[in-house]
Chain A
Amino acid sequence: GAVVSQHPSRVICKSGTSVKIECRSLDFQATTMFWYRQFPKQSLMLMATSNEGSKATYEQGVEKDKFLINHASLTLSTLTVTSAHPEDSSFYICSASPVGGGTSSYNEQFFGPGTRLTVL
């Protein structure tokens, strides 16, 4: 249980185009989904937090107009990289927290397998 999928797993695009990445919770409903960016040999950097039906909350330094996040349902969130440039090339990972899956201590996150974006 608690499987999160991402699509596509790899994408190569030309500079200036937009790319959409989907994150789905396959066997549970997710109140909250998170989007991370992972640079080579570095840690995961939280980009934004999205709650179903409301606007995403972006971390400091992340451009809202460049990285559009939509959390239209309890099982799907999308990240659109608009007008992509080579510096946007990275590994993007999403995670999802189940509805009612929190405790007083923490709210577990289940991670997708990631999407490798290469912008030429």
Chain B
Amino acid sequence: GNSVTQMEGPVTLSEEAFLTINCTYTATGYPSLFWYVQYPGEGLQLLLKATKADDKGSNKGFEATYRKETTSFHLEKGSVQVSDSAVYFCALSGRGGSNYKLTFGKGTLLTVNP
């Protein structure tokens, strides 16, 4: 079956530091890949996505590249801000059928200090 393994946190960084959160996946076929963010007390928001190999998703300074050869989708940001403090989830969605179920990683808590 499908699975997602992401770097366990928590991750604590100073403002303007470089961020990497690793994510690897196991899936049959060619899944779509996502990063979701959950701010304290809120639901999940889609941060970025990539639907085929070598695609790069980007949003709000965050980037992730769909690497089929290494089955990875690592999240990066060059300079984090305090407002980026949240839980980040890597996820994948299979193809086909009428329902595209999401499989989530366990989430990584990021805390950015001023």
Tell me whether A and B are bound partners.
Answer: yes
Report the interface size for chain A: residues with CB under 8 A from the other chain.
28
Q: A4 contacts which chain B residues (CB < 8 A)?
A: 43
Name the A residues within 8 Å of B52 (CB-CB). 105
Once the chains are docked, how many angstroms separate the CA of A44 from the CA of B87? 12
Nearest to A59 among chain B residues (CB) is: B101
Whether B32 sits at the interface, judged by CB under 8 Å, is yes
Is A75 part of the contact surface with B, judged by Cβ < 8 Å? no
Across the interface, B44 reaches (CB within 8 A) one of A32, A51, A106, A111, namely A111
Secondary structure at the A interface, as helix, strand, loop or mixed, is strand
Secondary structure class of chain B's binding surface, majority of residues: loop
Instruction: Please report the number of residue pairs spanning A and B whose Cβ atoms sit closer than 8 angstroms.
Output: 61
Beta-carbon contacts under 8 Å, B31-63 to A: 32, 36, 41-46, 49, 51-52
A98 within 8 A of B: no
Judging by beta carbons under 8 Å apart, are A105 and B44 in contact? no
A43-88 CB contacts (< 8 Å) to partner B: 43-44, 46, 49, 51, 57
Contact yes or no, B51 A106, CB < 8 A: yes
Collect the chain B residues with CB atoms within 8 Å of residue A109's CB.
Answer: 100, 102
Known: A43-B89, A44-B89, A111-B45. Contact between A32 and B104, CB under 8 A?
no
Q: Which residues of B contact A95 (CB under 8 A)?
A: 44, 102
- Taking a contact as CB atoms under 8 Å apart, the answer to whether A43 and B106 are in contact is yes
- Are A43 and B104 touching (Cβ within 8 A)? yes
Q: Give the distance to chain B from A6, nearest Cβ to Cβ, in Å.
A: 8
A-side contacts of B99, CB under 8 Å? 32, 49, 51, 57, 107
Q: Kindly list chain A residues whose C-beta atoms are within 8 Å of the C-beta of B28.
A: none
3 nearest CB pairs, A to B: A105-B51, A106-B32, A107-B100
Can you list 9 A-B pairs with a CB-CB distance of less than 8 A?
A4-B43, A41-B106, A42-B106, A42-B107, A44-B89, A46-B102, A49-B101, A107-B99, A109-B100
